[in-house]
Structure 1
Amino acid sequence: MEEGQQAQAGIVTAGRSLGMVVALAPALGGCSAPDGSVAALERMLAAHDSATVALEQWCTARGFAADPHITARRVAGDPPAEPARLRQRLGVSAAAPLGYRHVELSCGDRVLSVAHNWYAADRLTPEMNAALGAGDVPFGKIAAPLAFRRETLDERRGGEPGCPAGTVLSQIALLRLPSGAPLAFLTECYTRAALD
C-alpha cells in the first residue's frame, strides 16, 4: 500500500473508532456516579448488621461532618397502623407490647435515612426501652449489647411505601437476637443526601 493510501486508511480507522465512542456515549452515561454511589451504599449496608454502624462508616469515608456520629431525630406524628403480618414476623402475641420509632438518621446536618422501626419491647431491657423513648440515640446503638443480626427481607432502588419523595434506596429488614427470636422490623429509606 502506498504512503498516501496508508494515511487515508488510518484516518478512516480513527474516524470509525471515534464514531463508536460517540455512539456508545449515551449507554455509558448509565454508569454515572450516583448509580455507583447507590451500589457502594448497598455494599456498605450489607457488610453490617447495624445500619447505624454502616452509616457512621459511610459518613466518615465521605467526610460529611467533622463529628461523624449518627443521631436519630424523631419525626412528629402518630404511629401508623401496624404493617400486615407485623406481629407474626416479630413472633409476638396480639397483646404483646410493641414499640415504634419514626426517625431521621443524620450525620451532622445531613439526613441520610428515614426509618420506621417496630420492635418487641419485652425483648429489650427496661433501660433500653427508656432510652428509645427519650433520646436521640439510634436503635442500633441502644440495642447493640444484644448482638442482633440483620436479615434483609427486601431491597429496592427507590422508595418502599411510607418512604419520603427522593428516596434512592429502601430496605425492609428484620433484626434477630442470637437465639433467632425477632427483635425489630424495619423500613429504611435512604435519601439522595447520602450520596452527595
Structure 2
Amino acid sequence: MGRWEPGARERLERAALELYVERGFEQTTVAEITNRAGLTERTFFRHFADKREVLFSGQTELLDACVNAITGAPGTAAPRDAMAEALHAVSARLQDRREHARQRRTVIDANPGLKERELLKLASLASAMADALRRRGVAEPTASLVGEAGVAVFKVAFERWMGESGAPGRTLADVIQECLDDLKAATAG
C-alpha cells in the first residue's frame, strides 16, 4: 500500500491498535505504528497529536452526536427521554465497531494513564449532555443529574454489551434501552 492511497487515518488507527494489543501501549512507538501502516511519522502527526490520541480520536464526534440528539429531541421530551436519544445516537456510532471497542478497552484497562483519560472522556460526555439539557431549559440540579445518569447508563450498558458473545440481533441500543428501563424501574416512586 502506498503512502498516497486514501484511508491513512484508518490505517494508522488499525496499525496502532494491533501493536498496542500485541506489545502494549507503552512499548509501542509512533515509528512502529507508521511502519506497520506503510506511512510516515509526518503523516501520523498530521492526524494525531500523540499515540494516545489514536484511542480517543472520536471523542468530539461522540460529544457532537449526543448534543445534537438532545437538541433535536422533541420539545415536549422529558430530560430523561432526551438523554435516552443521546445514548441511542452514540450506540448507532459504535454498533459496528464492537471488536475494535473490545481491543481498545483491553489496551486502556492495561494502562492507568489511559484509564484516567477514559474517565475524563466520560466526564466530558456527562458535562456535554448536561449543557445541552440546560440549553433546553432544564434547571439545575436536574440537568447535571440526568447527564451523570446518562453516563452511568452508558457505562453499564457498554460493559454488558462488551461481555456478550454477540447474540444475534442484540445491539448496543437494545442493551442501553434495557439499562434505561432498569433505571426507570429503580427510581419509580
TM tier relative to shorter chain: under 0.3
Provide the TM-score with structure 2 as the length reference.
0.18
Provide the TM-score with structure 1 as the length reference.
0.17
Which protein shows a greater Rg? 1
Q: Going by fraction, where is helix more abundant, 1 or 2?
A: 2
